Amino acid sequence: MTEIYRHRDFAPASTFTSSLPIEAEELPERPNWLTALEAFFVRTRPYYWIIQGLMFLVFLLVLGLPLLLPDPPPETTPLSNGTLALQYLLWGIWFPLVFLSVIVFGRIWCGLLCPMGAASELANRYGLQQKIPAWIRWEGTPALSFIVMTLYGQTIGVRDHPEAAAGLFGGTMLLAIAIGGLYGRKKRVWCRHLCPIGRVLGLYSRLGAVQFTPKIRLPGGDAYSQKGACPTMIDLPRKSESRHCIECFRCVHPHAAGSIRLDVRRPGREIEDIRDHRANKAEAWFLFLDTGVALGGFLWLVLPQYQQWRQAFGVFAIQHHWNWVTTVGPSWLMSVHPARAEVFRWLDFILIVFFMLAVMATLTAVLAMLTAASAFLAKRAGADASFGQLFTELGYQYAPIALISLIIGLGAELLEPLRYTAFGASGAGAIRGGLFLMGLLWSVWLGIKILERQQVAPISRLLPLLPGIAGSLFVGLGWWPAIIGL
């Protein structure tokens, strides 16, 4: 049976009765397989805690077991050493695939699999349930969370040392539990506002093929509400965007006329029509910032400029008798592993943080200027919105190239086993190049579709599209050492 969108110009989100006329719009019929899939998730919803409990045990195993195992000898691989195998499982499998998964499945990791979110919600059930403070609800909090966690992970060597990985992820788990125990009432405050990975997945879930659609939609666009069933505080009848939806299926009731239903769409469709899905200025800036800080975390390891800056700053500090700069820092703040020949001093800590922030600021400034140029040219070409709105909408065109570059750069271990197969190093490089090209073309396509929605005539779209293409190429240039496999 065809379902109905009902648009109202009145009443709060919880009200669905009135004598005023209702404007109706038909929802399309769904294929049988999608209806059956929705029914499966609804039917198994009461047992999600079992999956989350198993994931918690896997979490403890992957992080805790390497602490008990000896360091891997030289010339070993994940196929011959348990410690390296667990490290590959974390950084070579989990990290890249959880980001790739959003293109197909959206944020299902957060709602079905993530042990941190589940632990935070469990703590909330028995916690103080205090009012969520304004500093947590601030739109910039998730960006700061991601930036700080990325910087901290680099200074402690989270990818190289099991103690660092256990400390970072274990500390994050404790923080998630603490936040759940303090704030919100039957909500996932951690997942909505503070999780450093959650907001990144939320941003890229706009590219995803999964969509949860209100059967009865109220006007006004996506809104924030601490009432209702949604654990991430979505005002469900006004739901119009994917970024906060963790796909927990609690709002899905197949036989209820006013619930949410599972839909599929063409990947990237939400960004193509970003005007209808609450384009968010803070999120557009977050896209620039998270791409930049992640790139900085990769480049300081491979660029000779970092070593040159380190040397110059060290000489300057010694000349000015800043002896504290050359002392070894605390092991909870930076990598101090003498047995593995890696001991960071305050010099290293300062330079790593400075280098990453400098790369982040540079990339953000370049993308912002190019997006501003696109918005200006689009306005000159007849775009139908203010400069600020055009800027925000056009900022989303970089999502595919940013996501693919992140996976290629920081999830490079995913393709490492191919070096030992018939593909070889050149084959792995070809796959990375192909992924980058796909991300670039997808970003260009999104730029075209966004300009189309901005009412820019086809013949006039090329000029405002050029700065966006330049921005995507600039992102690719930054990640080029990872793409070619250096």
pLDDT digits (tens, 9 = 90+) for 224-280: 988 888 999 999 999 999 999 999 999 999 988 889 999 999 999 999 999 999 999
Specify the pLDDT at position 426.
Answer: 78
Specify the pLDDT at position 11.
Answer: 34
Specify the pLDDT at position 114.
Answer: 95
For the cut 50, the answer to whether the pLDDT of residue 6 exceeds it is no
The reported pTM is: 0.89
Distance from C-alpha of 315 to C-alpha of 125, rounded to nearest angstrom: 55
For the cut 90, the answer to whether the pLDDT of residue 338 exceeds it is yes
Specify the pLDDT at position 407.
Answer: 86
Mean pLDDT of the chain: 89
In this prediction, residues 6-15 reach a mean pLDDT of 36
pLDDT digits (tens, 9 = 90+) for 413-455: 887 777 777 777 778 788 888 888 999 999 999 999 999 999 9
Distance from C-alpha of 111 to C-alpha of 139, rounded to nearest angstrom: 21
Specify the pLDDT at position 345.
Answer: 95
Over pLDDT 70: what percentage of the chain? 94
In this prediction, residues 193-213 reach a mean pLDDT of 93
* Residue 12 banded pLDDT, cuts 50, 70, 90: very low
Specify the pLDDT at position 486.
Answer: 55
Specify the pLDDT at position 212.
Answer: 95
pLDDT digits (tens, 9 = 90+) for 355-397: 999 999 999 999 999 999 999 999 999 999 999 999 999 999 9
